[in-house]
Amino acid sequence: MAGLDKETRQLILSTLRRYAESKLVPEYVLNLDHEDRFPQEVLQELYDPSRLGLHLVFIPEEYGGLGGNAYDIYCVSELMAGVDLGIATGLLATFLGSDPIKVGGTPEQKSYWMGRVADEALLMAYGATEPQAGSDLAALTTRAEPVHEDGVLKGYRITGRKQWISNGGVADLYSILALAPGGPSWFLVEKGAQGFTHGKPEDKHGIRASNTAALFLDDVYVPADHLLGSVEGQGLVQAQAVFGYTRLMVGAFGLGAGWEALRRAIRYSQERIQAGAPLSQKQGYTHKLIVPNAARLEASRAYIEWVAERLDAGEEGYTTEGAVAKYMATEAGNRAAEDAIQALGGYGYTKEYMVEKIKRDVRITTIYEGTSEIMEWTIARDRWQWHLKTRGAYYQEWAGRLGDVHRKEPENGADAASLALCALGAILERCRLDRLTRNQHVLFRLGELIAYAESAAVFAERVSQKPTEAICLDVPTRQALARIFAREAALKVAVDGLRWTVGAGQTFPGLPDLLNLPAIYQAQEGLVADMDFAAQQLNLAFGG
């Protein structure tokens, strides 16, 4: 998908930034958090076409939108998450809620409903989760009973309950997953439909400016043309089909919130004098609390941009890649926010300094749109198949390509990333020979190692070839971050891989040699110097 041209995207982002700087200032969002209040007026202003018309970014041009693509969604999501993740969630719930229409609707349904979302700036909600069906959506019990008149299907009566629905108490239009006789299916339900009510807003740990509520459907009648796609049983396939995009969006939330926390920590560290010098000059501080987080966040950015590029080129699927992007970026964002609290010491633990709120907010990103554990599972299952199908060649060949990158551009960390992929291939093969993935824990840990190794590889491949425009860090700084991350990934794959394969009973005594541990330790050479350089550059880029 072509998406917005660069000028339009920059215009939207700068307008959004200006709006945030004037209205969504720290005092305002802290107050929303304190009062646990959903700011309906902010969403109205953001959707108002005469001001921002932000919802139009996510609507294809043929239905009156601006036709933003995955890259645009990532940029807007990152920016909004840095401002307030609760408001970002409310905003993006419309995008999520309209996805079943975009993916599964008939041409008439798309035209009618997407046109209405665009023109009337309808707030939407996405109703999939139920009290007993979260990660396992197939366990859903909300039912849609067909209503026939004179042998003709006229509509459905929907009965059931939805749980934790963003915008649940405030939306105008809801996409609801329900079990029809033909299987799980998406239906559209309008606010105010008879028998359709919602619970009180949940009292949440974070994203308190977003409205989250349960939905109750008691014999709610919808006409037959509210069944998306007009064919029953497509619901789970349609839900799967959008994961590449939606998980990218939540990944961008992790990135935006994590970087906002880190930027605050960097600024603070320059002002805070301890033992005669600013904290920003102290290795024990920067090399623990700042630099590794910047490296992880930027590795996940590289992966997000890579997935967005593939999706925008019209390539199908990318569910697994969306999972890697979400997993790495949200875990990195959560960790960065946690370390930012530590970086601000006692001030970090108080509300006024914001990082405490960011930490509570970003925590949700490792839970909604698929938990981190479900991501690990998704990644491991898919790549395990690739390992089997290619008889182990998948990662060995990728490692070879990285060797070529390293010969041309030795500054990118491609050598360490290549070691990570080689070690990963060896671990996967050992798991196959000893049948270790029968242990669920081993399989999930493989998911984590795969995500680390692939992120290191993609970061090394792109860092100088496709430098990002989304952050003000020059190529040498990002190359240092790529090297730092690749070293971490290689060590993690080898050491954790060994731990879990040995722990699960692997039988080959020479496995440590196969993983090339000496080379992986040798690749750590230069790590502290790279961290010195990265710390200095981050101070320059984000100083007060």
Active site residues: 369
Residue (212 or 269) nearer to ligand FAD, CB = 212
Contact 32, 211 (CB under 8 A): no
Report helix angle 319-343 to 372-389, nearest 10: 140
What φ, ψ does residue 390 adopt, rounded to 5°?
A: -95, 10
- Least distance in angstroms from the C-beta of 216 to ligand FAD: 15
CB of 497 closer than 8 Å to CB of 427: yes
Q: Which positions lie near ligand FAD, rule CB under 6 A?
A: 93, 126-129, 134-135, 164-166, 204, 207, 212, 364, 367-371, 373-374
Q: How far apart are the first and last CA of the chain?
A: 38
Query: Which residue number, 135 or 522, has a Cβ lying nearer to ligand FAD?
Result: 135
Q: Backbone phi, then psi, for 204, in 5-degree steps?
A: -105, 160
Please name every residue paired with 153 in a beta bridge, in sequence order, or none if there are none.
148
3-state secondary structure (DSSP) of residue 523: coil
Mode of pairing for the β-strands spanning 124-127 and 173-180: parallel
Query: Least distance to ligand FAD from the beta carbon of 212, Å?
Result: 4
Two structure tokens written together for 472? 């003000």
As a whole number of angstroms, the distance between CA 356 and CA 379 comes to 31
We find the least distance from the C-beta atom of residue 41 to ligand FAD, in angstroms, to be: 21
Nearer to ligand FAD among residue 127 and residue 251 (C-beta) = 127
Residue among 43, 3, 50, 2 nearest 23 (CA): 43
273 by Cβ neighbours in 10 Å (0-12 / 13-18 / 19+) ranks as exposed
1 or 367: CB nearest ligand FAD: 367
Residues β-bridged to residue 227? 187
Taking the complex as a whole, the smallest distance from the CB of residue 97 to ligand FAD amounts, in Å, to: 8
- Angle formed by the axes of helices 40-47 and 6-22, nearest 10°: 150
- Nearer CB in complex with ligand FAD: 373/532: 373
The three-class DSSP label of residue 1 is coil
Per DSSP, what are the bridge partners of residue 216?
Answer: 161, 197
Shortest spacing between CB 201 and ligand FAD, in angstroms: 10
Nearer to ligand FAD, 69 or 166 (CB): 166
For residues 83 and 17, what is the distance between their CA atoms, to the nearest angstrom?
9
From the number of C-beta atoms within 10 Å of its C-beta (0-12, 13-18, 19+), residue 151 rates as exposed
Asked if residues 478 and 463 have their Cβ atoms less than 8 Å apart, the reply is: yes
DSSP for 104-160, written as a single string:
H--HHHIIIIIHHHHHHT--EEEE--BTTBSS-GGG---EEEEEEETTEEEEEEEEE
3-state secondary structure of 493: helix
Min. distance of Cβ 135 from ligand FAD in angstroms? 3
Query: Quick one: 109 or 175, whose CB is closer to ligand FAD?
Result: 175
Residue 262 CA to residue 281 CA, distance in Å, equals 16
Using CB atoms, what's the residue nearest to ligand FAD? 134
The CA dihedral of 383, 384, 386, 392, to the nearest 10 degrees, is 120
Q: How far is the CB of 33 from ligand FAD (least distance, A)?
A: 14
Reduced DSSP (H G I as helix, E B as strand, rest coil) percent helix, strand, coil of the chain, to 5:
65, 10, 25
Q: What b/e readout covers 510-544, taking b as 16+ CB neighbours within 10 angstroms? A: ebeebbbbebbeebeeeeeebbebbbebbbeebee
| Shortest CB 288 distance to ligand FAD, Å | 27
Query: What is the smallest separation between the CB atom of 55 and ligand FAD, expressed in angstroms?
Result: 16
Contact 23, 83 (CB under 8 A): no
Q: What whole-number distance in Å separates Cα of residue 342 and Cα of residue 356?
A: 10
The nearest distance, CB 127 to ligand FAD, in angstroms, is 6
Smallest distance from the beta carbon of 62 to ligand FAD, in angstroms? 26
Q: Which is nearer to ligand FAD, 236 or 527 (CB)?
A: 236
Report the residue number, 68 or 235, with the smaller CB distance to ligand FAD.
Answer: 235
